[in-house]
Amino acid sequence: MDASSRRRLLAAGALLPLDLLGAGELPGRAGRGSGAVSPSPDLLGHLDDRVARITADYERTPIAVTAARLRRQLPVVRSLLARDSLPPATRLRLHQVVGRLAALWATTRHDTGDTTGAAAAFGEAYQHAAEAGDATLMCWIRLWQSSLARKAGRPADAVGLAAAGRALVGPGTPAAARAAAIEARAHGALGARWKVHEAVGRAWSIVGSLTADQHGEPGFSIDTLHVLTLSELSAAAYVELGMPGAASVYTDAAIHQLDLAGATGLRSMARIAAATAAAGRRDLDHAVHLVDAALTISRDRPSSVIAGRARRFVGEARGYVGWHAALDDLDDRLRTWHAPRLTP
């Protein structure tokens, strides 16, 4: 950012911490209060860039670090939105920024096991997304709410929320493909085999028509959907359905490529899905090795999602092979493998 841009930011009365603008870019804080000058285009563009950067870095950054950044930044951007006499276009852009930051905050809550906090934060995020007319974000939030409903033992509600998300976006978009994959997982929880097949097929049909920009990079994203991300989502749907062999079709092709991409969470989740398939084949040594590797990969970025899937693997594997020392060892490791705790 050049000196002229810095002066315009200061003139706009931006109430932003150093972390939000980047170290050294804001030597002081300008005027406070609801009557302050409207945020400048430079500031709005910078906010958009920050949201994009946090989103892109989400899966490669410890969850507690992301949460700490969001905890500092959300109140600041909310204060900008609370100002009087904002131009309508500026208010819409701020609603979008707050909506996306709140959705990211909700995801950190989910990933640390705080489902109540996640549900509340997703609700706030959806309100801002609706105000901004950000249909992609609205869909994305509905899909997270679908996942929360499924985990709470309400698979029919999960199907409905995924379908509601799909209805918000165009049929040939990354969001529509993601919605189909999440819908497949909800159908899997209901044991609806052919609906899972149909939804997974629909997701892959959409992804096959997307541009390179719409594919984006593997891993966490709101606006794009990479084929490797869809591979993991597809595998999860078949694990939910109780067809680990079908899941392995997707995991076996994706694990090596995910390792090259460095998408931490996806690397771990794909291995746990592959482990479930291996346990179903009674190849327990390989299965335990995969889960152990998944925990090692996410050691510096632990999450309740990885822990929950690993515990589910242990339970299902015991159903296949009964007592086994390797499963006991894995169970012991899981007892000390905790997601970071976040303050409200």
Tens-binned pLDDT, residue by residue, of the chain (344 aa): 444 444 443 333 334 443 443 333 333 333 344 445 678 888 899 999 999 999 999 988 999 999 999 999 999 999 999 988 899 999 999 999 999 999 999 999 999 999 999 999 999 999 999 999 999 999 999 999 999 999 999 999 999 999 999 999 999 999 999 999 999 999 999 999 999 999 999 999 999 999 999 999 998 999 999 999 999 999 999 999 999 889 988 988 788 888 888 788 889 999 999 998 888 888 899 999 999 999 999 988 999 999 999 999 999 888 887 888 889 999 899 988 865 555 44
CB atoms within 10 A of CB 49: 11
Q: What is the tally of structural domains in the chain?
A: 1
DSSP codes, 8-67: HHHHTT----HHHH-TTS-SS----STTSPPPPHHHHHHHHHHHHHHHHHGGGS-HHHHH
What angle is formed at CA 6 by the lines to CA 27 and CA 81, rounded to 5 degrees?
90
**Which single residue is written with the structure tokens 């970025």?**
301
Q: For position 195, what pLDDT does the model report?
A: 98
Q: Provide the angle, in degrees to the nearest 10, between the axes of the packed helices 304-321 and 325-335.
A: 160
Dihedral angle over CA of 100, 309, 162, 208, nearest 10: 90
Q: Which residues contact 307 (CB under 8 A, 6 or more apart)?
A: 334, 337, 338, 339
* Alpha carbon distance 82, 77 (integer Å): 9
Q: For position 321, what pLDDT does the model report?
A: 79
* Alpha carbon distance 247, 278 (integer Å): 10
Residue 7 domain-assigned?
no
What is the domain range of residue 185? 135-242
Residue 150 domain-assigned?
yes
Residue 256 domain-assigned?
no
In this prediction the pTM is 0.86
Amino acid found at 208: G
Residue 194 domain-assigned?
yes
Residue 77 domain-assigned?
no
CB atoms within 10 A of CB 106: 26
Q: Which residues contact 227 (CB under 8 A, 6 or more apart)?
A: 207, 215
Q: Which residues contact 222 (CB under 8 A, 6 or more apart)?
A: 55, 100, 103, 136, 137, 140
Residue 293 domain-assigned?
no
What angle is formed at CA 20 by the lines to CA 19 and CA 21, rounded to 5 degrees?
95
CB distance 173 to 135 below 8 Å: no
Q: For position 341, what pLDDT does the model report?
A: 55
Residue 196 domain-assigned?
yes
Choose among 92, 87, 75: nearest CA to 129. 92
DSSP codes, 282-295: T-HHHHHHHHHHHH
Residue 113 domain-assigned?
no
